[in-house]
Chains A and B, each alone.
Chain A
Amino acid sequence: MTPIECLFKAVIDGDAKTARIVTADALQAGVPALDLVMEGMMPAMDEAGRRFECSEFFVPELLLSARAMKSALELIRPILAQTGAKPAGRVAVGTVRGDLHDIGKNLVSAMLEGAGFEVVDLGVNVAAEKFIDAVRTKDVKIVAMSALLTTTMESMRTTIEAFRTAGLRDQVRILVGGAPVTQRFADEIGADGYSASAPGAVLLARKAMSGTA
């Protein structure tokens, strides 16, 4: 197997240790950092996402793949920064105010990172002001909100309203997701996109960057 194939397999297998070792070896052997990302890591996370979508993977497997991907990315990111490679876009991700569930949000973060986005993770119980602040100060183009409770998904509505009040609504694409959220709810509150799954969020983010969402 080539180093890129080894990285691909380690990420799918959720083997963080191997992912880190093969990445370090590959970089030492002169494999371009961008190739490791574009041909190893990203296809691997796409494949993990596909397996998750068809129920072959469950939450633990997808999280393990994400962990393996991140351990490789830690080595690659500084090199990418030196070469001036641009991320696919910068996304602020958070679980909305009143809600502490972070598994879904972490999956979305991992899938976005795996797809080459730079993720600003705002954590859980995130107030509208915090999302707005990220857009103001961190050059964030996309905001992705998660909620797991029917009672807390209303915070998505208030956050979007807060963006309007702040006069920033046009400068950001807002994506929503989480167990109780539906396309209808997303339309009703004026979100730009909704996905029922973490891998689906990547497609939305890509569309948002190309201005089609």
Chain B
Amino acid sequence: MTDNVRVELQPMGRTLGVRRGCPLQDVLFAQGVEFPCGGHGRCRGCRVRLLAGSLPVTPEDARLLSPADTADGWRLACRARAVGDLTIELAQWEAAILADDTVLSFVPRSGLGIAVDLGTTTLAAQLLDLRTGCVLAVRTALNDQARHGADIMSRIGFAMQGGGRRELTRVIRDQIRGLAAALVADAGGAARADPVADVVIVGNTAMHHLFADLDVGPLSRFPFEPEDDGLLSFSADALGWSLPGNPRVRFLPCLGGFVGSDLLAGLLATRLHESDEPAALVDLGTNGEIVVGNRGRMLCASTAAGPAFEGARVSMGMRAVTGAISEVRVRDGRMHCRVLGDVAPRGLCGSGLVDAVAAGLDLGRIDPTGRLSHGDALELAPPVALRQADIRELQLAKAAIAAGLRILLEQWGARPDQLARLHLAGAFGNYINRASARRIGLLDFPDATVLPSGNTALLGAKLVLLGAPDDDGTFATLRSRVRHVSLGEDARFQDIFVDEMRFPQPTP
């Protein structure tokens, strides 16, 4: 037996070589598949259909899927391992929007649509058949602008010198044009003959400005308020994109400050703006973005969490790819690590970092001030270790989020225990262990309140694509109900921020 097996993914026809026995979750996650319950076999969001090869029926399959479904080849990807060559069909992309309980105002129309989540670090794009709502192709990429600065502020700094802004605008427009062309090519066959009718892009305010070649100066200094953060509408031709059908390209409007249309789309995806009870949407990125509110009124804010959740500025930090420790559990007083891809550990990703610190606190190896009890490092799985400075980075990141959330809740007028739901957006949100997030004081809410919600930005962009085509996309009513709070101007923010840097005492 060779060490590698082939996994073919349908409908895109992509074939991947992976290590025999590798969890499918690790393979598929890198391909943009989401695991709504965090890959714990609690939901059916990641189900796939086996077209060739074999996958045993697991107890979770038997519990969550009907006998007819399992007989038909349906399995939960998060519970399956690639023990031999496989061909699987991804249910998620067949009906990505139509999650089981989503009521969607879907207006079928002809042509293709492209939804793009333009992040500071990563891009995710999907090609949709606007007649059926099905996803035809998926692409992800690292933002090409990153070579001019990893975080938003250094990107803005670059934009403000010489021809920096023009260069950043050129780079990102080129990259999205390339992604769009690649998606259409991926879809192949009949789809290729169809014109692209509509492109919807979402992203934070800096990405919005840099896509449109707007002045980012006002975003660089107090009071950090954009001058023009409304809907941007172009024709593909005007952008220099020769897409068949010359579709309109829209960058959706921002919510306020640095909080952009990624969060506006997140509201649409989570329907927070229709909720009777107070709810929250939290995106744990380098720039943590938070919305708190209900159908009546909402508050939003951004808070500089730093890149610790994405594995950056952590000594052995890495993204959630093969070789990353993604989970740490304490059993019999010892730490046990799970490594993505079932290979030797190479580093630690965001969810592993949160787990490792929670485990260190539980084992008494880290005290509530964040100090390691002895030595300068906590060994996890050789050669990967957690260093004192890594814990400090996490303290800064979690304090920024926790303080932001605390202030927004207070200003909105709700106690933390009145929060009905907390939607956790982003891939990291899918992987983070809720008990660990609570243990370190990042999200001090009951498990049932915290809902990993996947890439809500991309989901919301798709909802806009599939909605009524004559909707102008200005979202004037929704935006008028959201007020931006500048945390830096809140006199108490820095005190609360410092306060939140500590870890909670263990609960007996």
Contact = CB atoms under 8 A, between A and B. Distances in A.
Interface of A: 55-61, 63, 97-103, 125, 149-152, 155
A149 B155 CA distance: 11
B389 A55 contact: yes
B156 A151 contact: yes
Contacts of B149: 150
A125 B486 CA distance: 14
Give the one of B220, B221, B489, B501 with max A CB within 10 A. Answer: B221
B157 A103 contact: no
B86 interface: no
Given A55-B389, A100-B489, A61 B157 contact: no
Given A58-B371, A60-B369, A150-B153, A99 B501 contact: no
Nearest to A99: B222
B392 interface: yes
Contact of A100 (B222, B369, B498, B499): B222
Contact of B157 (A56, A100, A151, A155): A151
Given A60-B369, A97-B221, A98-B222, 6 more contacts: A58-B370, A60-B502, A98-B220, A100-B222, A100-B489, A150-B153
8 contacts: A55-B392, A56-B371, A58-B501, A61-B369, A99-B222, A103-B494, A151-B156, A151-B221
Interface string B470-508: 000000000000000000110000100111011000000
Contacts of A103: 494, 497-498
A129 to B, nearest CB: 16
B388 interface: yes
A151 B395 contact: no
A100 B395 contact: no
B242 to A, nearest CB: 36
A150 B157 contact: yes
A61 B392 CA distance: 12
Contacts of B502: 60
Q: Is the interface of B mostly helix, strand, loop or mixed?
A: helix
Contacts of B498: 59-60, 63, 103
B220 A59 contact: no
Q: Which 7 A-B pairs have the closest CB atoms?
A: A98-B221, A151-B220, A100-B488, A150-B157, A55-B388, A150-B154, A98-B222
Contacts of B221: 97-99, 149, 151-152, 155
Contact of A58 (B157, B395, B494): B395
A151 B153 contact: yes
Interface string B225-266: 000000000000000000000000000000000000000000
Interface in B136-167: 149, 153-154, 156-157, 160
A150 B376 CA distance: 30
A98 B153 CA distance: 13
A167 to B, nearest CB: 27
Interface in B364-406: 369-371, 376, 388-389, 392, 395
Contacts of B222: 97-100, 125, 152
A58 B369 contact: yes
Nearest to A55: B388
A130 to B, nearest CB: 14
Give the one of A55, A63, A125 with max B CB within 10 A. Answer: A55
A191 B311 CA distance: 34
A73 B504 CA distance: 31
Contacts of A97: 221-222
A63 B495 CA distance: 10
Contacts of B154: 150
Contact of A102 (B371, B494, B501): B494
A60 B370 CA distance: 10
Give the one of B376, B395, B494 with max A CB within 10 A. Answer: B494
Nearest to B488: A100
B220 to A, nearest CB: 4
Contacts of A63: 498
Interface in B401-436: none
A103 B500 CA distance: 14
Contacts of A60: 369, 498-499, 501-502
A154 to B, nearest CB: 8
B388 A149 contact: no
B223 to A, nearest CB: 9
Contacts of B497: 103
A181 B499 CA distance: 26
A60 B475 CA distance: 42
Contacts of A56: 371
A65 to B, nearest CB: 12
A145 to B, nearest CB: 15
A37 B156 CA distance: 45
A139 B499 CA distance: 35
A61 B369 CA distance: 8
Contacts of B153: 149-151
A110 to B, nearest CB: 13
Given A97-B221, A151-B221, A152-B221, A58 B488 contact: no
